[in-house]
Amino acid sequence: MDFGETAVKASAFSYFRAATIDQALDAHARAGDDARFIAGGQSLVPALSLRLQAPRLLIDITHIAELRGVRREGACLRIGALTRHCEMLSEPLIAEFAPLLHAAAPFVAHPAIRNRGTFGGSVALADPASEFPAMTLALDAEIEIAGASGRRRVKADEFFFDLFETALQPGELITAIYVPLFKADQRFAFDELARRRGDYALVGCGMLATFTSDRIDDIRISFFSVGNRPMRAKAAEAALIGFGLDAEHIAAAQAALEDDLAPPENDEVPPAMRLHLARVLLGRLLGRLGEGA
Amino acid sequence: MRGFDETLLDEADETVRVRFVVNGRKVACEVAPRETLVDCLRDKLELTGTHAGCEMGACGACLVQIDGRAVHSCLMFAVQADGARIDTIEGLTESGAIADLQAEFHRRNALQCGFCTPGMLVNACELLSQVARPSREQIRDALSGNYCRCTGYEAIVDAIDAVAKARSAGGAR
Amino acid sequence: MTAPLTSLDRPNSYIGRSLPRPNAKRLLAGRGRYVSDLRLPRMLHAAFLRSPHAHAKIVSIKTDEARALEGVHLVATGADLATICTPWTGTLDHFKGMTSAPQLPLPLDRVVWAGQAVVAVVAENRATAEDALELIEVDYEDLPIVVDIDGAREADSPLVNPGSVSNVCFRSQLDSGAVDDAFAHAAHVVEEEFSFGRHTAVTLEPRAIVADYDPAAGMLTVHHGTQTPYQFQDLYSRHYGIPEARVRVIATDIGGSFGMKLHVYHEDMAVVGLSILLGRPVKYVADRIESFVSDIHARDHRVRARMALDAKGEILAMDVLDLTAIGAFSTYPRTSVVEGNQVVRLIGAPYRFRNYRATLEVIFQNKVQTSQYRAVGHPIACAVTERMVDMAAAKLGLDPFAIRAQNVIADDAYPQTSPTGYRFEALSHEACLKRLQEMMGYDGLRAEQAELRKRGIYRGIGIATFVEITNPSPAFYGVGGARISSQDGAIVSLTPSGEVRCLISVTEQGQGTEAIISQIVADQLGLAQEHVKVITGDTEVTPHGGATWACRGAGIGGETALQAARALKRNILEIAALILQEQPSALDIIDGDVVDAGTRNRRLPISEIARIVYFRSDTLPPGTQAQLTVSHHFAPQGYPFAFTNGIQGCSLEVDVDTGFIKLLKHFIVEDCGRVINPMLVDEQLRGGIVQGLGAALFEECRYSETGQLVNGSLADYLVPMPMEMPDIAIAHVDTPTADTELGAKGVGEAGTAAASACVLNAVNDALVPFGAAVNSIPITPARVLKALKRF
C-alpha cells in the first residue's frame, strides 16, 4: 500500500448506460478502450474511489435485458451474467441444478454486497480469493463472451490465466455462464476457512464428484485463495478417481495438493501454512463427500 | 435509449441530471458521474442519517434500501441509481416501518455513538422481511458486514431477536 | 407478597435504575449531528498529500499545477503553517528525562513515518482537492529507517531524530528492593516473554473537524469530533495566539472515540491554520485509510517477566522489563509514555506480594505515534500478570481459581498500597472470584472440557483478574504540567417553566454521559428525568472541565452534578420556605413539587416558584435575591485514583488443525462502586470486552520491513464483527468509593482491560494436551499452528 496518494473520491469519468450488448461494446471501442464495464460494481467502485483505476468512461451494463435470467438450456443451466449473488441463494433452478453455487453463495461477502454483486462480474474480475470464479472450475462451466468479433464460449479451465488476467480481451464482456446440470449420481461439497464471516478466505474449496455407489468415477476440485488465480487440484483429483473415499485415498489426495497449489508469499499466512490449511480443508470436504454431502 | 455519443467522453467533469424516488418522494438532482450515492444522499439531499464509515463496503454504515433491498450506498455511483427507489433511515423512520426495531434498540440501549445504527436498522429490516423468526446465529450472520465499535453487538442481536418474536406473536406484517 | 421497599421505590429515584438514554432516539432516527455531517456557508474541504516513505528528507515540493486547478483555494506546506502556528512537544515534567522532537502541523524538511501528512490542499470539494493532490510533486531523499524494537535499540541503529544520542524516548525503573533475594529463595520461578501487537481505535466515524475562523471578529470556532473540547480550546488558543475567550470548540455527536480523539493530530492542527489563512470554514474528515495511518495506534509492547513463588504457591516477587515502541514522536499533550508507565505500575496489582522490580523503556521508531486508547496499559499488565499466574498454577498443580484465591489481596485488608505505589481504597477480588466461579459453572465447564478432549475437541477455559484506574486526580497529567483538568464544572438552572437545565463539562460519545447526569440531577432534585435537559460539549456554553477520559465521567462528572443539584435544591427550598413561611429544612421536593418533608404532602410545584422568582419577584420579601442558577465545580480529593476491580472468564474452542478459535461465552464480574444505570454499565462492559476480544484474536497493525503499514483498510485490518463475538454474562459487586457522595467509579475500560488476558489463558488451557503455548497477542491461526508445529 502506498500512502503517498490516498484517495477516497474517484477521478472524474463519463458515464454511459447501455441498453444492449452492442451499445456497450460500441461505447467501449469508441472510448479507445479506456473504459470499464460496470455491473454490480461491488469491487469496481472501491477500486475507482481509491483511484486504483481511473478510466475515462464507465459503461453501465446492468440494464441490458439479455444479460439477465437463469434458465435451462439443454444439458446446461444458463446463468445470465447479471444474476446477483443473492439470487444464487433464492433462485430454485440454482438450488436444484447448480447446488454447489447455492452452497457457496452464503460465503460471498455479506448480505448487502450479495444484493448488488453479480455472478458475471465476479467471474470477469477473477479474484483468486473469490468463491464463484473457483466454482466455475469445479463445475466445468463455460463462460460466454461477447466482443467485437461476436460470441464465443470458453471453458472455465481455459479462462483464468494469472492474477486478474483472463481470456477476456479488452472491450469484451461476459454474457452468461453455462453450468452442466447437477445429476443424481453426483455429490458436491463446499467450505472455506475465513477469519471472519464474509472475509476473503485463507483457503476455500469446492468439489463436484460423480459416483458409482461409493467409488469416484470423476471429481473436480477447485481451490481459491491459494495462488494467483482460482486453481484446480488435478493431482488430488487423480489420486481419488477410481477409488472410494477411505482414509488412505484422502491422505493421498491431501499429499498431492503440493503439486496443485501455489500459495503466495505472505507474512500473515506463509505458503506452508496455506498448504496445510488446504489439506485440512480438503480432508474435511472429502469426508463430507464420503458421507453423502 | 440512445446509443453512445462520443462527446460524452469530454464531459467527465459535467454534472448530469438524475431522478430517484427518495423516501417516497420524486427527486431530481445534478450529480457528477463520479459522485457516489452516499455522497449524493448526504451532500445533495441532506440525508445525513446515512453515514460513510469506510467507503469500500466493509462497515455497513452507509446501507440504504434500493428498490427494497439493502445496499451499500458507498458502492454505487449516484448515476447508477437513476430511476431507482431509494429509502434511507429518514424515510424508514417517517413511514413507521421500523418503529418497533427503533423502540427495541432504544429500550435495550443497542447503540452507543449511533454511527452504525442506521445501517444496522436497514439490515435488520431486510432480515426480518425475509426470515420471520431468525435464530441468534442467523441474526449475527445477517449483520456480519455491519461494524459497531461500541456495543459488542449482543444488545443489537437481542433487540432484533425480540422484535422478530413480537412480530411473529402479533401475527401482523 | 410484596417485596420490601428499597431506595429505588422512592419517587424520582433514578440512581441505580436501568433507563434508556433520552438522547439515543435522535440517533435511531438518523438525526444524529456528527461533525462529518456539518456543512457551513462558504465551507471548503481539505485533503492531504502523505509521505510514501517511512523516513526521508523533503528535497522539494512543487505545487504550481495544483494551485492552478479550478476549484483549488489553497495549497499549504509546512513552511506556510509554521508562520502562524507555534510548535508543540509531547513531554510531561513528571516523566523525568523524557524527550520528543518539536512538532508542527506539517513537516518542514523531513518525514518520519509513511502516511505522515506533508502538503494540504483546500478546495471546493473533497474530490477536487484529491485531484489537486495528484498534481503535487514532492521530491524525497530516503533516510535510514527504524522499524522494529530490537533494531531501534542497537548501538549503531539509525536515529529517528538525528542529533539525539539514541532512539530512547524515556526510561524508568521501579524497584521495591529485595527482588533478587526473593527469586534466590523461591521454590518456583516462572518466566516468559510476551508480545503485544499494535492496534488502533477504528472508531466508525473517522476523525472529523470543521475549523471556522472569522477574521472580522478575531474568533475561531472549531467543530471537532473530540472527547476533550476544553483541552483543544486551550491548545488552539496557545498555538495560534488567539485569546482563549475567542476560541470556541464544539463537540456534538461523535461517532466513537475511545481515547483516540483526545490527542493532537497534525491534520487537525493544520485545518485550524488553513481556516485562519483563508478566513473561511474548512472541513476535513479522515478517510478510512488515512485513519489507519494517522490515528494514534496503541500497545506495541514486548514484555519479559518472571514470577517467584514459594512451595505453597504464594507469589513472592515479580521482575519485569517492558519495551514499547511509540512511533517517531511522543503524542501531545498526553505523551506516549503513559501506556508503558501504566503497564509497569499495574502488573501484579491484584496480588499481595511486596517485591517488585520493573524497567520500562520507551523507544522511537518510524511509525505513526502510539498513545492512549481504551484501557491504556491495562490489557498488557493484565495479560502478563494473569498468564504468569496460570503458568505458576500449572507448575504447582493448582487450579487457576485456587491460586488466585490464595494470592489476591483479601477483601478485608484495605486500604492497601501496591509495591508500585498505587493506593487502593477498597477492592473486592475475593468476592468477584467466588461470584465468577459460580456464574461460569466452572466445575461443569471443566467436566465438559475433559469429556470433549476424549473426542478430539479442545476447549479452553480462562480467567483473568484485573484492577482498573478511574477518576484520576491531577496526579495523572496536571502535575506534569499539562493543562488538562481533573475537575469538572456544572451549571444547573431551574427554568422559568420549572424544568431543569444542566450544562456540564463531561462529554458524550454514546456511553450515556448525558443520561446518567440527568438521572443524578433528577434524583437529587426530586423531579422527573424528562424534565432535566443536559447540555455538553461546547466551550462557549459549558463550564471548563476535564471532559471524558480515563473513566472519569460518572465518578467525577457525576459527583459534580450531584453536588450542583443539591445546591440548586437548597436554593429552591429557601425561596419555597419564604413563600410558604416554613423552615427550608421542613420542606423537600418530590416529583417537581415542594412537599412537607415529614408528611410528603404537596405544597407547591417548583414551576410556581420559578414563575414567582422570574416574573413576580416583587411578591418576594424585600432583600430576597433568588439564585435559581447554580454553578459548581468538583475536583477529586482523597485517593489520587479510584481503583476498580473485577474478574473475567471465557470459554472457547481451538480447532487444532486450522488454528481457528471460536469464542463460546464470556463472563465478567465487575465492581465499579455505585452503579448509576445498570444497563449502561453492562453495555460499557460488553463493548469494552469486545474491543479486548478484537485485540486478542484479530487486530494488529502490520508493517513491512520498509515501515509501510500493510493492512491499513477495514478489509485488511480485522475488527471484531457480530458473527465471531460471543454473548457476555455480567454480574456486579458494589464497593462504592467513600471519596464522593455518589460513590461511583469508572467502568468504561474494565471490559477491555482483561478480555485479551482471559482469551490468552483460555487458548493456552486448550493447548495443554499438546504441550504448546502462545504468548503473543493477537492469537492468530498462524501463531496457534506454529505453536502446535503444524507447519
Residues C493-524 have pLDDT tens digits of 999 999 999 999 999 999 999 999 999 999 99
Eight-class DSSP state of B43: I
Residues in C closer than 8 angstroms to A106, CB to CB, are none
**Which CATH number characterizes residue C246's domain?**
3.90.1170.50
β-pairing, C355-363 vs C315-325, is: parallel
Substitution target from A22, A44, A115 for chain B, most B beta carbons within 10 A: A115
CA distance linking residue C132 with residue C122, whole number of Å: 9
Do the domains spanning B12-92 and B98-170 agree at the CATH topology level?
no
Question: Can you tell me the distance from the alpha carbon of B11 to that of B6, in angstroms, rounded to the nearest whole number?
Answer: 10
d(CA C616, CA C619): 6
Shortest alpha-carbon distance between residue A10 and chain C (Å): 7
CA C561, CA C740: separation in Å to the nearest integer? 12
Q: What is the rounded distance in angstroms from the CA atom of residue C300 to the CA atom of residue C272?
A: 31
* Residue C513, all three cell numbers: 454521559
Task: Out of C610, C634, C658, pick the residue that ends a domain.
Answer: C634
Could you give the residue range(s) of every CATH 3.30.465.10 domain in chain A? 67-180
Instruction: Tell me, yes or no, whether C26 and C59 share the same domain.
Output: no
Residue C1: per-residue pLDDT: 42
C-alpha distance from residue C537 to each of A63, A73, C489, C544, C599 (Å): 49, 65, 12, 10, 41
Q: Judge contact between B86 and B149, C-beta under 8 A.
A: no
B57 vs chain A: nearest CA distance in angstroms? 8
A58 touches B: beta carbon within 8 Å: yes
Question: Cβ of A49 and B74 within 8 Å?
Answer: yes
* Contact between residue C332 and residue C258 where contact means Cβ atoms under 8 Å apart: no
- Does residue A33 carry a pLDDT above 90? no
Other beta carbons within 10 Å of C352: 17
The Cα–Cα gap between C533 and C504 comes to: 11
Q: Do B80 and A41 touch (CB under 8 A)?
A: yes
Q: Any idea of the CA torsion for A156, A159, A163, A168, to the nearest 10 degrees?
A: -140
Co-location of C661 and C729 in the same domain: yes
- Domain limit, last residue, from C260, C278, C294: C294
| CATH superfamily, domain at B98-170 | [2Fe-2S]-binding domain (1.10.150.120)
Distance in angstroms (rounded) separating the CA atoms of residues C651 and C763 = 9
pLDDT above 70 covers a percentage of chain A that reads: 98
Place of cell 418533608: C597
Query: Per the CB < 8 Å rule, is B56 touching C713?
Result: yes
Q: What is the number of domains present in chain C?
A: 3
DSSP state for residue C306 in the 8-state scheme: E
A52 touches chain B (CB under 8 A): no
Scan for cell 478510512, then name that residue: C288
Domain of C681, in residue numbers: 377-469+641-787
Distance from CA of A133 to the nearest CA of B (A): 20
CB proximity A113 to C under 8 Å:
no
Q: Which residue do the cell numbers 513491512 mark?
A: C704
Testing the interface with B: which of C17, C18, C23, C28 to mutate, by most B Cβ within 10 A?
A: C28
Per-residue pLDDT band for A267 (boundaries 50, 70, 90) equals: confident
**What is the bridge-based pairing of β-strands C219-224 and C247-250?**
parallel
CB contact under 8 A, A268 and C115: no
Does B121 sit within 8 Å of C253, measured CB to CB? no
Task: From A189, A200, A201, A202, select the one nearest A253 (Cα to Cα).
Answer: A189
- The structural architecture, per CATH, of the domain A14-60 is 2-Layer Sandwich (3.30)
* B173 pLDDT above the threshold of 50: no
Identify which of A186, A235, A188, A231 has the alpha carbon closest to the alpha carbon of residue A211: A186
CATH of domain B12-92: 3.10.20.30
Instruction: Compare CB distances from A46 to B56, B126, B127 and report the shortest one's residue.
Output: B56
Using CA atoms, how far residue C506 sits from C542, C557, C661, in Å, is 9, 6, 39
ipTM of the complex, rounded to two decimals: 0.97
C660 touches chain A (CB under 8 A): yes
Question: What letter represents residue A251's amino acid?
Answer: A
For C430, the grid coordinates are 475475593
Q: How far apart are CA C586 and CA C576, in angstroms?
A: 10
Distance CA C628, CA C630 (A): 6
* Residues of C with Cβ-Cβ distance to B95 under 8 angstroms: none
Put simply, the answer to whether B152 touches C127 (Cβ < 8 Å) is no
Question: Are residues C647 and C618 located together in one domain of the fold?
Answer: no
Cα–Cα distance for residue pair C716/C733, rounded to 1 Å = 39
Nearest to C396 by CA among C94, C190, C535, C105: C190
Whether C578 and C500 map to the same domain: the answer is yes
The class of domain A67-180 in CATH terms is alpha beta
Burial of C740 (0-12, 13-18, 19+ CB in 10 A): buried
Joined grid coordinates for residue A183: 445429476
Question: Residue A288 pLDDT more than 70?
Answer: yes
pTM, two decimals, is 0.97
Q: Give the strand pairing for C500-504 and A231-232.
A: unpaired
Contact map slice: B 7-66 vs C, CB within 8 A:
32, 34-35, 42-43, 46-56, 58-59, 61
Query: Is domain A186-290 classified as CATH 3.30.390.50?
Result: yes
- Secondary structure (3-state) at A231: strand
- For B83, nearest residue in chain A (alpha carbons): A63
Could you tell me the CATH number of the domain that includes residue C507? 3.30.365.10
Residues of chain C with pLDDT under 50: 1
User: Which segments within chain A are labelled E, that is strand?
Assistant: 14-17, 35-38, 57-60, 70-73, 76-80, 142-147, 150-155, 160-162, 165-166, 173-180, 186-193, 203-212, 215-224, 231-232
**C-interface mutation test, from B95, B154, B158, B163, most C Cβ less than 10 A away:** B154
Distances in Å between the alpha carbon of A144 and those of A85, A124, A167, B104? 18, 11, 11, 49
Name the residue among B4, B6, B72 with its Cβ closest to that of A23: B4
Strand C776-777 relative to strand C188-200: parallel, antiparallel, unpaired?
parallel
Domain end: C616, C634, C652, which one? Answer: C634
Q: Is C288 on the interface with A (CB under 8 A)?
A: yes
Which residues lie across from A142 on neighbouring strands? A155, A178
Q: Is C291 exposed, middle or buried (0-12, 13-18, 19+ CB in 10 A)?
A: buried
Q: Chain C 286-325, CB below 8 Å of chain B: which residues?
A: 287-288
Contact at CB, A267 and C293, closer than 8 angstroms: no
Task: Please report the pLDDT score of residue B8 as a whole number.
Answer: 87
Secondary structure class of C310 (helix, strand, coil): coil
Predicted confidence (pLDDT) per residue in B112-131, tens digit: 999 999 999 999 999 999 99
d(CA C517, CA C508): 10
What is the C-alpha separation between A133 and A73, in angstroms, rounded?
A: 21
Q: Let me know whether C625 and C654 are in one domain.
A: no
Q: Is residue C19 within a helix (H) or strand (E), and if so which, with residue range? A: none
Contact list in A for residue C127 (CB cut-off 8 A) is 9-10, 12
Query: On the CB side of C383, how many CA atoms lie within 13 Å of its CA?
Result: 38
How many residues does the structure list for chain B? 173
Going by C-alpha positions, the residue among A35, A57, A117, A36 that lies closest to residue A82 is A117
Q: Which segments of C128-273 are extended strands (E)? A: 137-142, 168-175, 188-200, 208-214, 219-224, 247-250
Whether residue C678 has a cis bond before it, omega within 30° of 0: no
Contacts of C39 in chain B (CB under 8 A): 43, 46
- Please say whether the beta carbons of B52 and C126 come within 8 A: no
User: Looking at the domain assignment, is residue C382 inside a domain?
Assistant: yes
Q: Does A193 touch chain C (CB under 8 A)?
A: yes
Residues C212 and C103 in one domain: yes
Whether B72 has its CB under 8 Å from any CB of chain C: the answer is no
- For A156-173, b where at least 16 C-beta lie within 10 A, e where not — what string? beebbeeeeebbbeebbb
Task: Give the whole-angstrom CA distance, residue C389 versus residue C764.
Answer: 12
Q: Do C664 and C715 fall into the same domain?
A: yes
C119 and C134, same domain (yes or no): yes
